[in-house]
Amino acid sequence: MLDFRRLLAGLALLGVTASAALAQPQPQPQPLRIGVIEPQTGPVAFDGTSVIRGARLAAEEINRAGGVLGRPLELVTADGACRPADSVAAAERLITAEKVSVLMGAFCSGATQAVMPIAERNRMPLVTAVSSLPALTQAGNRWFFRNAETDAMIAAAFARGLVEQTKTKTVAFLAVNDDWGRGTVASFRSVFDKLNVTTSLSEFFDHSASDFYTPLTRIRSARPDLVIVVAETQAAGTLVRQARELRLPSKIFGVGAWTTPTFLNLVGPAANGLLAGVPYAATAPGERNATFVREFRAAHNEDPGKYSAAGYTTMNIIAQAIQRAGSTDSAAIQGALEQTDYAGPTGNLRFDAKHQIYGLQLHVVEIENGKPEVRGTATLEQND
Amino acid sequence: MLVSDFLQFALNGVVTGCFYALTALGLSLVFGLMNIVNFAHGAFFVLGGMLASLATERLGLPLWAAIPAVLMVMWGVGAVIEAGLLARMRDAHILPVTLVTIGLSVFLVNTMLMLFGTEPKNVRTGLEGPPVFLGDVIISQSRILAIGISVLAIIATWLLISRTRAGRAMRAVFQQPEAAALAGIPIARVHRFTFALGTTLAGLAGILLGAVFVVDPSRAEPAAVKAFVVIILGGIGSLPGAVLGGILLGLAESLWGGFVSTGYMDAVGFVLVIAILLFRPSGLLGAPASRVG
Amino acid sequence: MTENRIVLLLLALAAVMPVFIGDQYVLHLLVMTFFYAILSTSLNLVVGYVGELSLGHAAFLGLGAYTSAVLSTQFGLPFFICLLLAGVVAGLAALVIGAITLRLEGHFFVLISLAFAEVLRYVVMNSVELLRGPLGYSNIPAPHLSFGGALLVDFSSKAHFYYLGLVLLAFTLYAAWRFARSSFGLGALAVRENRRLARAVGVDPFRQALVAFVAGGVLAGIAGSFYAHYLTFVGPEVLGFGFTLSALMMVVIGGRGTLLGPLLGAAVVGITLELLRSVNEARLSIFGILLVLAVLFLPDGLVSLRWRRQPGPAEENATDALDSPLRS
């Protein structure tokens, strides 16, 4: 009964809209639709929502300046929940029913992997702002672009510097038990092995864990010089607080969005002294970043972090590509994306031959008085 | 170093065990008395934490005022849900009833996500001081507070069930529903009371966990599943069973994670469930005709 | 019109639909509906015919999906072999798990079945060398059908998967129908309606339940294999409670213990969920309410709108039971 009435209502609405649309001439230009698949529910919902925020800010900015090809950008969001099946369904819907021109998503590497063949089959450019599994750009999918660092790159960029700066001889890992956590640990370990740094422990925790006392106690008794934590906001906040409560003596280096205000808020004063390796920090120097931070603060009352910056830069890259292509033809956009040369808050971004971004700036930050102070910056070099 | 590690793991285990026990307590009562596999229990747990976070962070209420306020709201929620929904399904097959609680859980969790946002939330305790040292073993102030409140709540519930009229009515309905009805006990009221009590206990557990860790809607399902594990271990409908089961689970997880591997920590509970169900299905403290209290 | 005729009619309609529908999104929805219909039918064998609530059904789906993924990506076996083996592996697992757990009833069975599935999920999540843990298997190859040396169907278009799904669904429904009519099925019904009486007339509840459980497991494994090759990606989420829950909803909303029920349930639930995507944020809240209302007002499912469930097997004519092994 419910479905039938809904169907009637839907048809009626459709009829009214159609006649209204046909009746008037169209003075408004047709919006350019960009599909955004991010987790809006589940354990990484917070970070997924941050990506969308950044993307929206970029779109609004662009629209205020006149849009792309004279048309406004319109974001069509869908909840991929970081699940392959959900993300695939979202992609199908965005492509066929919502008729988007470009896809952005899907956050978790597993979900992105599932969407990639769909993008290829439909000749739809897919740009990810987050997915870090190295294999994604090795698969030869010409429609897929990655505007993010890979686990291997983070390790390569930071590992050596970390060891030198902190004089580390032994390290322990505490990571979330998923493709990102495991991938990052593996990447770091391969660099550390070459530098003769021993790994005393590798602990993994479930996405939904909230009590880290057990792995932290094990790490505490192993007494490593450095503890590398790979965790997202929702887990990382609790983890660090508990590490401090347990009086963990080792230095802690975090990979993930560790400079967001939410994280800093959750952890409180315990965050001071933390090191983190981030592809973005609100306190990073540069005029473009300062502008971005100012606007984000004005819109959301807090500083942007890794994910909002990623969403922002990705949307800008997409918009510029469409502008460069001069049309919404997917092959043209694909070609235009390859020629990306975008100077934004995260660096001067370009894609290499495998559609992997480079020019991205990676920072080592230390939290001091509740703010992330940049201690060192490395620029992602071109790989090939 | 090994001994102090063991003690730390054991203490961690007892602390988490207390939380498990409190979470499972309400579920045990509902499951035992009303025969409902209540999947919404986890959602109530999260709701309590969310409301307490709202009260302490946004409204600035101190913890001692926030807790009773939130508990009163939870009681109301439980009573309304029982009266409006579950009462209608009292004679239904286990399958539709379970599905209704699942639907309820989906609705509650998603609505909380919409209303409160995706950020994980904290419940402010006002205890920001340094942790307490017992030799080499560490426990934080907020944990001590949370344990204290849990113990009080468990004792209070036990007193409620064993010493008051309402509690006696509950036990009567649990043991012999038909005879209780014949003796004039208002079954419907007892069911409503029990469900409201279960909901409130879940909410309290959520508040305490929100104070010690964080609360967010994605924790609803794992919390519910853990609670089920505990009551199977301890025996359905047995209050001491829920406490024992909770502490046992906490200890088992902590010791296993500490000395063997943390990757399988959460699986420990399930393995224990399988073992218990095969060798002693009524649970550690449940007799075949399990009693409440 | 009898239930069986309706099912056949629906299948026939589905067979010609792609001629009229070219929209890839709609085809995708239908393919997923077929998948869920297979999964729900398999769950229905346990839940509907035996009457036990199994919360661990995703274990068999996941085992089938992983078997198919591993065999095709690591060993290069062709799809149809993988499909077969997926069913076999899932069936064997069902045999083992069922033998252990089916001795329990009611709430105990509910929880032990969930426990098994979750333990399996943790094992897979932590087996990084053997089963790639959380990384999962990607780029699972599409099936292809060849005869002699000639390539007949290469499954590059969605319509190909549509027909594959439809054929698998038809097979599943046939298997379920035969099961229900067989002595196993009637025995299972007897156990569901009155366990003691059944035992008194020589029907062994345990054996009946086990056969239904294994049959359900095999079909779930087949569904898993199809899923793996269609989505091309398999990870530990395939063993998670989410799929069990979806199948459960479809069985209950459609009508448990019937042939048409899971089919209707899969279609209605799947389509409702997709329609609700336009109200992105409130989607699951609305769905939760709809679920509660549906179960509240139609506890026996949509099928009961047309065929009322009758109490007591004693009222039924013996021959009626043979013609329609469903409660109608």
Q: Which of A211, A221, A238, A301 is the mutation pick for testing B, counting most B CBs within 10 A?
A: A211
Chain A and chain C share a number of CB contacts under 8 A equal to: 86
Q: Give the domains, in start order, of chain A with CATH numbers.
A: 32-149+285-360 (3.40.50.2300), 152-278 (3.40.50.2300)
Higher pLDDT, C25 or B76: B76
Chain A and chain B share a number of CB contacts under 8 A equal to: 88
Name which of A243-252, A356-365, C154-163, C228-237 the model is least confident about: C154-163
DSSP at B133: E
Cα dist from A290 to A51, A208, C175, whole Å: 19, 35, 66
Chain A residues with CB under 8 Å of C277 CB are 78, 90, 93
Test C107 with B109 for CB contact under 8 angstroms: no
Mean pLDDT of C110-137: 84
| Per-residue pLDDT at A230 | 93
**Percentage of the residues of chain A whose pLDDT score is greater than 90:** 34
Mean pLDDT of C289-307: 82
Tell which residue, A229, A352, A381, A370, has the closest CA to residue A303.
Answer: A370
Test A214 with B219 for CB contact under 8 angstroms: no
| Per-residue pLDDT at A211 | 82
| Per-residue pLDDT at C149 | 62
Mean pLDDT of C187-209: 74
On whether any CB of chain C is under 8 Å from the CB of A134, the answer is no
Chain C residues with CB under 8 Å of A88 CB are 28, 231
| Per-residue pLDDT at A18 | 39
Query: What is the pLDDT of chain C when averaged over all its residues?
Result: 82
Model confidence pTM above 0.80? yes
Which of B218, B219, B254 minimises the CB distance to A214? Answer: B254
| Per-residue pLDDT at C148 | 62
| Per-residue pLDDT at C267 | 92
Per residue in A124-177, pLDDT (tens digit) is 999 999 998 888 898 889 999 999 988 888 888 888 778 877 788 899 999 988
- Which pair of structure tokens corresponds to residue C279? 């109200």
**Percentage of the residues of chain C whose pLDDT score is greater than 90:** 25
Test A110 with C134 for CB contact under 8 angstroms: yes
What is the residue type of B162?
S
Under the banding of pLDDT at 50, 70 and 90, the label for residue C213 is very high
- The answer, yes or no, to whether residue B95 has pLDDT greater than 90, is no
* Distance between A96 CA and the closest CA of chain C, angstroms: 6
On whether any CB of chain A is under 8 Å from the CB of C235, the answer is yes
Mean pLDDT of B120-144: 80
Nearest CA in chain A to B265: A205
* Distance between C24 CA and the closest CA of chain A, angstroms: 6
- The answer, yes or no, to whether residue A116 has pLDDT greater than 50, is yes
- The answer, yes or no, to whether residue A11 has pLDDT greater than 60, is no
Chain C residues with CB under 8 Å of A185 CB are none
- The answer, yes or no, to whether residue C41 has pLDDT greater than 50, is yes
Test A177 with C290 for CB contact under 8 angstroms: no
- The answer, yes or no, to whether residue B198 has pLDDT greater than 90, is yes
| Per-residue pLDDT at B288 | 53
Test C231 with A88 for CB contact under 8 angstroms: yes
Q: Give the best-scoring range by mean pLDDT among A236-250, C21-35, C73-87.
A: C73-87
| Per-residue pLDDT at A73 | 93
Nearest CA in chain B to A237: B214
B51 vs B43: CA distance, rounded Å: 12
| Per-residue pLDDT at C150 | 63
Test C114 with B105 for CB contact under 8 angstroms: no
Under the banding of pLDDT at 50, 70 and 90, the label for residue B199 is very high
Beta strands in C36-105 (DSSP E): none
Coil, strand or helix at C117:
helix
- The answer, yes or no, to whether residue A296 has pLDDT greater than 90, is yes
Distance of CA B216 to the CA centre of its chain: 16
Test B122 with A266 for CB contact under 8 angstroms: yes
The neighbour count for residue C162, using CB atoms within 10 Å, is 21
- Which pair of structure tokens corresponds to residue A373? 């102070």
B246 vs B16: CA distance, rounded Å: 8
Bridge partners for C197 per DSSP: none
| Per-residue pLDDT at A319 | 94
Chain C residues with CB under 8 Å of A181 CB are 134
DSSP at C226: H
Chain B residues with CB under 8 Å of C296 CB are 85, 88-89, 100
In sequence order, the 6+-apart residues with CB closer than 8 A to the CB of B52 are B66, B67, B70, B123, B206, B207, B210, B211
B267 vs B280: CA distance, rounded Å: 19
Which of B128, B209, B258 minimises the CB distance to A214? Answer: B258
DSSP at C151: E
Q: Contact C266/C116 with Cβ under 8 angstroms?
A: no
Chain B residues with CB under 8 Å of C53 CB are 94-95, 98
Test B99 with C291 for CB contact under 8 angstroms: yes
Burial grade of B69 (CB within 10 A; 0-12, 13-18, 19 or more) = middle
- The answer, yes or no, to whether residue C34 has pLDDT greater than 90, is yes
| Chain C touching partners, 3 or more CB pairs below 8 A | A, B
Name which of A309-318, B110-119, C85-94 the model is least confident about: B110-119
- What are the backbone angles phi and psi of residue C290, rounded to the nearest 5°? -60, -40
Higher pLDDT, B54 or A3: B54
> Where exactly are the structural domains of chain B?
18-219
- Which pair of structure tokens corresponds to residue B147? 């344990």
Helices (H), B213-259: 220-234, 239-259
Query: What is the pLDDT of chain A when averaged over all its residues?
Result: 85
Which of A2, A6, A182 minimises the CB distance to C134? Answer: A182
Q: Contact A47/A212 with Cβ under 8 angstroms?
A: no
Higher pLDDT, A378 or C57: C57
C309 vs C320: CA distance, rounded Å: 14
| Chain B touching partners, 3 or more CB pairs below 8 A | A, C
| Per-residue pLDDT at B44 | 95
Given the DSSP bridges, would you call strands A342-344 and A347-351 parallel, antiparallel or unpaired? Answer: antiparallel
Given the DSSP bridges, would you call strands B132-134 and B137-139 parallel, antiparallel or unpaired? Answer: antiparallel
- The answer, yes or no, to whether residue C28 has pLDDT greater than 90, is no
Higher pLDDT, C186 or C239: C239
In sequence order, the 6+-apart residues with CB closer than 8 A to the CB of B108 are B40, B43, B44, B46, B47, B220, C288
| Per-residue pLDDT at C218 | 96
Nearest CA in chain A to B222: A208
Test A204 with B128 for CB contact under 8 angstroms: no
| Per-residue pLDDT at A227 | 93
Chain B residues with CB under 8 Å of A48 CB are 118
Tell whether omega for the bond before A106 is within 30 degrees of 0, i.e. cis: yes
SS (H, E, C) chain A: CHHHHHHHHHHHHHHHHHHHHHHCCCCCCCCEEEEEEECCCCCCHHHHHHHHHHHHHHHHHHHHCCCECCECEEEEEEECCCCHHHHHHHHHHHHHHCCCCEEECCCCHHHHHHHHHHHHHCCCCEEECCCCCHHHHHCCCCCEEECCCCHHHHHHHHHHHHHHHHCCCEEEEEEECCHHHHHHHHHHHHHHHHCCCEEEEEEEECCCCCCCHHHHHHHHHHCCCEEEEECCHHHHHHHHHHHHHCCCCCEEEEECCCCCHHHHHHHHHHHCCCEEEECCCCCCCCHHHHHHHHHHHHHHCCCCCHHHHHHHHHHHHHHHHHHHHCCCCHHHHHHHHHCCCEEECCEEEEECCCCEEEEEEEEEEEEECCEEEEEEEEECCCCC
Given the DSSP bridges, would you call strands A198-205 and A251-255 parallel, antiparallel or unpaired? Answer: unpaired
- The answer, yes or no, to whether residue B127 has pLDDT greater than 70, is yes
Beta strands in B75-165 (DSSP E): 132-134, 137-139
- The answer, yes or no, to whether residue C89 has pLDDT greater than 90, is yes
Test B225 with C114 for CB contact under 8 angstroms: yes
Mean pLDDT of B150-177: 88
| Per-residue pLDDT at A195 | 85
Q: How many residues can be counted in chain A?
A: 384
Chain C residues with CB under 8 Å of A95 CB are 24-25
Nearest CA in chain B to A246: B138
Burial grade of C92 (CB within 10 A; 0-12, 13-18, 19 or more) = middle
| Per-residue pLDDT at C326 | 38
C52 vs C217: CA distance, rounded Å: 14
What is the complex's ipTM, to 2 decimals?
Answer: 0.81
- The answer, yes or no, to whether residue A14 has pLDDT greater than 80, is no
Mean pLDDT of C155-164: 83
Chain C residues with CB under 8 Å of B108 CB are 288
Test B119 with A245 for CB contact under 8 angstroms: no
Q: Which of C96, C248, C251, C296 is the mutation pick for testing B, counting most B CBs within 10 A?
A: C296
Mean pLDDT of B248-274: 85
Distance of CA C13 to the CA centre of its chain: 21
Chain A residues with CB under 8 Å of B253 CB are 214
Test C252 with B95 for CB contact under 8 angstroms: yes
Chain B residues with CB under 8 Å of C281 CB are 113-114
Per residue in A264-290, pLDDT (tens digit) is 887 888 888 899 888 888 888 888 899
Mean pLDDT of B42-71: 91
Which of C122, C290, C295 minimises the CB distance to B96? Answer: C295
Under the banding of pLDDT at 50, 70 and 90, the label for residue A28 is low
Chain A residues with CB under 8 Å of C281 CB are 40
Q: What is the DSSP string of C157-219?
A: SHHHHHHHHHHHHHHHHHHHHHHHHSHHHHHHHHHHH-HHHHHHTT--HHHHHHHHHHHHHHH
- The answer, yes or no, to whether residue A23 has pLDDT greater than 50, is no
Chain B and chain C share a number of CB contacts under 8 A equal to: 116
- Interface residues from chain A to B (CB-CB < 8 Å): 40-43, 45-46, 48-49, 177, 203-206, 208-211, 213-215, 217-218, 221, 233-234, 237-238, 245-247, 262, 266, 268
Burial of A202-218, coded b for 16+ CB within 10 Å and e otherwise, reads bbbbbbbbbbbbbbbbb
Test A182 with C133 for CB contact under 8 angstroms: yes
Per residue in A53-79, pLDDT (tens digit) is 999 999 999 999 988 998 999 999 998
- H-helix or E-strand containing C150? strand C150-153
**Percentage of the residues of chain A whose pLDDT score is greater than 70:** 92
| Per-residue pLDDT at C280 | 67
Q: Contact C259/C3 with Cβ under 8 angstroms?
A: yes
